[in-house]
Structure 1
Amino acid sequence: MEGRLMMEIAKRIEKGEKAALVTLIEVEGSSPGKSGSIMGVFEDGSIEGTIGGGNLEYQVINSALEAIEEGKNRKFDFELIEDGELHMKCGGRVKGYVKVFEKRKKLIIVGGGHLGNELYKLGKFLNMYTVIIDDREEYVDRKRFPHADELLWGDIGKILEKYSLDDGSYVVIVTRGHACDKVALKAVLEKKLAYIGMIGSRKKITDTYKELINEGISIKKLEKVYSPIGLDISSGEPNEIALGIMAEILKIKNQKSGKHMFEVKKVKIQGENL
């Protein structure tokens, strides 16, 4: 049972879902569950395994769902007495831990060209759930992207409008041209995302923004777009541009400054601050 439970947690995380592992770490006296009992709780409310059932399990499931929502691990400690929080008559006491497993971050690469291919390699290296979208069938080929989690071919705007995106999604728009970039950007602007970045020169970006404003898109929504995209570290080669984009994504994902580490953590040599 424990093996099946752990496999289900791994499968859910691989699919891009959140999950929690509940463990009873200490049991004193009479209790529905034994020390070491484990249970998987998933963000849709379903479970795998049991820690004994009853009101104890019901309350712990709710606590685990709250932990999943917050993205934070937590402990629990219940006295199983009639005057206790759970109003149970077992007479024992249980202590446990809820370990939250965050879903894999999604990297949505809109455009399967040279830059898209370099971004894909870095996305897989960083263990992100990597999706390639293009309106050219030959650019979403399994031979070109052998380890992509999803390859989507067709109308870019329609795909992005229907595709499930959330605050764990990082969208990078690097299509074959201005028109496709604009369609892709318009399709995701209303969604709550961790990151939207779009490739392009300042002129192309300015023209795209003007067109979208004329179509009723607010300036406030456009201000959340990272464009020109990436950190200023590349020579202009696709692999270096991709690295600059992924560095920018990591900066945002990890809420870091992006400064040189020697600026962040000053080193002392012989008592002197450098």
Structure 2
Amino acid sequence: MLDIAAELDRWCEQGRDFAVATVVATSGSAPRRPGAALAVDAGGTAVGSVSGGCVEGAVYELCRAALESGQSVVERFGYGDEDAFAVGLTCGGVIDVLVTPVRSAPAGPDGGGEPSAAVRPAVAAALAAAARGEAACAVRVVDGPAGLLGGALYVRADGGHTGTLGGHRELDRVAAGEAKALLDAGRTATVEVGADGSRCGAPVTLFAESSVPAPRLIVFGAVDFAAALVRAGSFLGYRVTVCDARPVFATRARFPEADEVVVEWPHRYVESTAVDGRTVLCVLTHDARFDVPLLERALRLPVAYVGAMGSRRTHEDRLARLVEAGLGPAELARLRSPIGLDLGARTPEETALSIAAEIVAVRRGGSGAPLTGGATPIHHDGPRGPAGAAAG
């Protein structure tokens, strides 16, 4: 749901009623990850996708029905060999979809109103935060006692929350704690809460969907290869920074697609800027004056990826210098050098593609091997970044 927050936030501001179908669980070769969403408004307008086209028509109708009834529902879509024309995923995967109506019906005589109306404030708050680029987590019930399906909780980065999961304060408290932990890690996941933890008399399955600011890609070295990598990084959803100590090269005119261009010595910049476990550092300078002081610091940071450009001879010289600087085997093993996968790349654009491919492989736990003739899974559940990315 939060992956289409910008559009749904506009719908909320316009007072439009809608239902949103969100992938909450997958298995096999499912085309979209948990968090992928399709929303349909009262006029029949649709935005987003849950399957890349396989079951969109059926999910569209589920949304229309949920808008009419005001009731949330969970539906499973898979592939049945016995009926090739049945609605399902031709890729062989299975997805569970949670459909939540978000209506603005007035409250009833008891002040409670219908479930979908009670959901709207929490959903709207989560969508607004995600649309602004802030960290936000939306929690909904996937399975549990009657009356809980249809609740929603918006959890902020500080753990504060808005909304309720069926009016159970203890469940709201536990859910907010679980959501904050996932939000800190930039993850979207289902969470099982036991009967004791939920205080609802039965176990509850929650879906906590996180939206976090875009991960950072910092490119060191204002060279032609950097310009191509900036474009590739932006395409992959990173917030891209170019850093170089030479003001004549590090200019906005040369890197118009970068989110930020910084004139600074690379090692000084990496010491002062904010990084986290999703940050990617690409060193394209292949000049020992810049590389060694930078890598000495970068390889000790808790980042997702550190890669450095250069020939194999440059790599061996660089390793020797880093050993002299005091780095140990575990730190040196983190260095991806020469940077990128072996695609036979020659041009800056091809080189950027090889680097981007390695970043994705590290992020998703892929091997980088051809899929043709292989027996490994197409989709991996290995190391992950946002997000989303949403993450998430």
Q: What is the TM-score when the length of structure 1 is the normalising length?
A: 0.77
Within 2, Cα distance between the matches of 1:131 and 1:60?
36
User: Residue 50 of structure 1 corresponds to which residue in structure 2?
Assistant: 163
1-side partners of 2:257 and 2:224: how far apart?
Answer: 16
The correspondence of residues 28-107 of structure 1 with structure 2, limited to 5 A, is 28=146, 36-47=150-161, 49-51=162-164, 54-68=169-183, 71-75=187-191, 85=197, 96-101=206-211, 104-107=214-217
- Which residue in 1 is equivalent to 2:140? 23
Q: CA deviation at 1:167?
A: 1.9
**Pair 1:57–1:215, CA change in 2 (3 A):** same
Counterpart CA distance in 2 for 1:262 and 1:12 is: 38
Deviates more, 1:155-164 or 1:133-142: 133-142
Assess, with a 3 A threshold, how the Cα gap between structure 1 residues 12 and 202 changes in structure 2: closer, same or farther. Answer: same
Counterpart of 1:73 in structure 2: which amino acid?
A
Correspondence for 1:177 among 277, 287, 292: 287
Unaligned runs of 5+ in 2: 1-120, 377-392
Distance in 2, matches of 1:46 and 1:145, equals 39
CA contact (8 A) 2:160 2:176 kept: no
1:166 is displaced (CA, Å) by: 2.1
Equivalent-residue separation in structure 2 for 1:59 and 1:46 (angstroms): 12
Shift of 1:234: 3.0
SS at match of 2:346: coil
Moved more, 156-165 or 20-29: 20-29
Q: Relative to 1, partners in 2 of residues 1:7 and 1:234: Cα closer, same or farther, differing over 3 Å?
A: farther
CA contact (8 A) 2:155 2:179 kept: yes
Q: How far apart are residue 196 of structure 1 and its match?
A: 0.8
User: Closer, same or farther in 2 for the Cα pair 1:229/1:60, shift >3 Å?
Assistant: same
CA contact (8 A) 2:133 2:212 kept: no
Contact 1:28 1:93 in 2 (8 A): no
AA in 1 matched with 2:126: L
Q: Residue 149 of structure 1: CA displacement?
A: 2.6
**Number of residues paired by the alignment?**
251
Native 8 Å contact 2:174 2:197 kept in 1: no
Deviation at 1:92, TM superposition (A): 11
Cα 1:22–1:175 shift into 2, 3 Å:
same
**What is the root-mean-square deviation in Å for CA atoms of aligned residues?**
3.1
**2:359 alignment counterpart:** 249
**2:337 is aligned with 1:227:** yes
**Cα distance, 1:165 vs structure 2:** 1.7
Q: 1:235, 1:5 → 2: CA distance?
A: 43
AA aligned opposite 2:373: E
2:299 aligned to 186, 189, 196, which one? 189
1:126-182 superposed Cα distances (whole Å, 9 cap, x missing partner): 112212111123433333333323322212111101222222111110126221112
Read off the aligned partner of 1:189 and give its amino acid letter. L
User: What's 2:244 paired with?
Assistant: 134
Give the CA deviation at 1:263: 2.3
Answer whether contact 1:28 1:92 (CA < 8 A) is retained.
no
Q: d(CA) in 1 for partners of 2:340 and 2:205?
A: 47
Any conservation in 1 of the 2:171–2:197 contact (CA below 8 Å)? no
Q: What secondary structure, in the 3-state scheme, does the structure 2 residue paired with 1:264 have? A: coil
* Structure 1 position 248, deviation (Å): 1.3
Gaps of 5+ in 1: 267-274
Aligned match for 1:10, one of 113, 124, 131: 131
Match of 2:316 in 1: 206
User: Which residue type is aligned with residue 178 of structure 2?
Assistant: S
Please state how far the C-alpha of 1:76 moved relative to its aligned partner.
Answer: 5.4
Contact 2:140 2:153 in 1 (8 A): yes
- Distance in 1 between the 2:203 and 2:356 partners? 48
